[in-house]
Amino acid sequence: MIAVTRSYRFSASHRLHLGDLSEQQNTELYGKCNNPFGHGHNYRLEVSVAGPVHQVTGQMIPLNQLDRLVQDHILASFEHCNLNVDVPQMADVVPTTENVLSVITAILQQHWSDYIPGAARLYRVYIQETDRNGFGIFVPTAHNATYTGAQQ
């Protein structure tokens, strides 16, 4: 089995804040990321696919299909937006990068078979938030439980 990874970039803003906590508690928990006006990041998203190489084409997948999937369902929704307000899947979760990653993974899985032919599967999704913070998910195989996204 071979894995291929494609990288994408998007910029988005968010505020880390729990409505059930006081302003002081939110500041203690999230620090400067609790700024009432929000803040932004230039995220780098990596999507890895694993599977067999097609004997005729010499490719695992047509990369343009993966690019279309990410463009249509991730970048179109996440690029230049306020994650707290503009992404419906983030409405009920704090938009930490962990939760952003979980939502992106669930969206990719939901639309996978519409774009990616054959036996190739979503293997890993990774998001780099800052120079120091990056988060990744290894996606379970088909015979294991499907990843369901952010937990509330």
- Is residue 96 included in any domain, yes or no? yes
- Is residue 15 included in any domain, yes or no? yes
What's the confidence (pLDDT) of residue 147? 45
Q: Is 79 a catalytic residue?
A: no
Q: Is the pLDDT of residue 12 over 80?
A: yes
Token pair for 99: 């939760």
- Band the pLDDT of 142: cuts 50, 70, 90: low
* Window from 42-51, 68-77, 107-116, 136-145 with minimum mean pLDDT: 136-145
Q: Is the pLDDT of residue 17 over 70?
A: yes
Domain of residue 35 covers 2-138
- Is residue 77 included in any domain, yes or no? yes
Among 23, 28, 39, 80, the active-site one is: 80
CATH number where 86 lies? 3.30.479.10
- Is residue 150 included in any domain, yes or no? no
Average pLDDT over residues 58-83: 96
What's the confidence (pLDDT) of residue 3? 94
What's the confidence (pLDDT) of residue 1? 80
- Is residue 47 included in any domain, yes or no? yes
How many separate domains does the chain show?
1
Among 46, 79, 98, 129, the active-site one is: 129
Q: Is 46 a catalytic residue?
A: no
Average pLDDT over residues 67-85: 98
- Is residue 146 included in any domain, yes or no? no
Element (H, E) at 50: strand 39-51
What's the confidence (pLDDT) of residue 27? 96
- Is residue 38 included in any domain, yes or no? yes
Q: Which residues, 6+ apart, have CB-to-CB distance to 20 below 8 Å?
A: none
Q: Is 33 a catalytic residue?
A: yes
Closest CA to 121 of 54, 44, 52: 52
Tell me the whole-structure pTM to 2 decimals.
0.90
Among 14, 33, 41, 73, the active-site one is: 33
- Is residue 152 included in any domain, yes or no? no
